[in-house]
Amino acid sequence: MAVDRVAVIGAGNVGATTASRIVDHDLADVVLYDVVPGLAEGKALDILQALPLTKSGRTVRGTTEFNEIGAADIFVITAGIRRGPGMSRSDLLKKNADIISGICKQIARQSPDSIVIMVTNPLDAMAYLAYRVTGFDGARVMGMAGLLDSSRFRAFIAQRAGVPYGEVDALVLGGHGDLMVPVVSRTTLSGVPLGEKMTVTEIEELVERTRNAGGEIVSLLKNASAFYAPAEAVATMVANIVRDEPGLLSASVLLQGECGIDGIFLGVPVRLGRRGVQEIVNMELDPAEEAALHRSANQVRENIFELDQLHPY
């Protein structure tokens, strides 16, 4: 599948920055969509005016009409609401499920051969919902989270060690939440196992900071959440698909017995390409990490069970 057009659904901070990164990287033309009048059009126009400076050969436009997107090859879904004061997890799940379900029905009608990348939270449950509503093959639906969490873990390690970010190799698996699993046993710093470079206490502090990374940003911004790193993570996934260069990364994908887990979306090592998820890589974990991955899977399964009760497909 040649990728010519990416549709980004939702023109908030994450969506607009994602659109900018995709065209800046010269990956595809972008249509930015939002229901708020003028929001997608205004941000797309701003991005467009920067393209002569980035020397991109791509273009971007905004719209409030879903049918004006046309047929897109990849849909990146960032639409939805953040959990606000007094809102329960169930409230957030229901409200975003209603939004995502409507979007996915339109995607299935308009672009039945497309690939969907989910960004909306609760991410693993929303990726599962997209899979159920679109009826797409599981290889064409995925969630962006593990790549973001892995980048955060790598950034914190490099910052603590005082080395370039490229010197750190690490993956974070599991659900996008407080039970995510930074795979310390496979993490290296300058090619050396992390445990040989840092103390157990230092590593535990970095793991905990990674799990709370999104909340740390929210506590600083007060009325907003992270968007630069999430947008770059999405652009990286799009690049792997567009260029058909399946490097190893972590993404939330449908598991059908892999890693001993079945019937849910969960962050695991994968390779992406023009057909979507080309391979789910079985990575050897130590016993504690494997147990942690299954605990994370159980948390995601609870969300999906609740979603199944709340939402008719």
pLDDT tens digits, 53-72:
999 999 999 999 999 999 99
Torsion 92-96-101-102 (CA) sign = positive
Nearest to 118 by CA among 23, 8, 273, 3: 8
Rounded to whole angstroms, the Cα distance separating 115 from 296 reads: 25
Q: Residues spanned by CATH 3.90.110.10 within the chain?
A: 146-310
Please give the model's pTM, rounded to 2 decimal places.
Answer: 0.96
The set of catalytic residues is 176
For residue 120, what is the DSSP state?
Answer: S
Residues of the chain above pLDDT 70, percent: 97
Does 85 have pLDDT greater than 70? Answer: no
Cα separation of the two ends of the chain: 28
Reported as half-sphere exposure (CB side, CA atoms, 13 A), residue 79 has a value of: 28
Instruction: Look up residue 307 and give its two tokens.
Output: 């979603």
Alpha-carbon distances, residue 177 vs 122, 131, 293 (angstroms): 8, 20, 12
Does 115 have pLDDT greater than 80? Answer: yes
Looking at 3.40.225.10, 3.20.20.370, 3.90.110.10, 3.40.50.620, the CATH number of the domain 146-310 comes to: 3.90.110.10
Q: Residues spanned by CATH 3.40.50.720 within the chain?
A: 5-143
Structural contact between residues 73 and 114, judged by C-beta atoms closer than 8 angstroms: yes
pLDDT in tens, 135-186: 999 999 999 999 999 999 999 999 999 999 999 999 999 999 889 999 999 9
Rounded to whole angstroms, the Cα distance separating 303 from 126 reads: 10
Mean residue pLDDT of the chain comes to 94
Rounded to whole angstroms, the Cα distance separating 77 from 266 reads: 17
**How do beta strands 192-193 and 188-189 pair?**
antiparallel
Classified by CATH at the fold level, domain 5-143 comes out as Rossmann fold (3.40.50)
pLDDT in tens, 262-283: 999 999 999 999 999 999 999 9
Does 309 have pLDDT greater than 80? Answer: yes
**How do beta strands 192-193 and 5-9 pair?**
unpaired
What pLDDT was estimated at residue 92?
A: 81
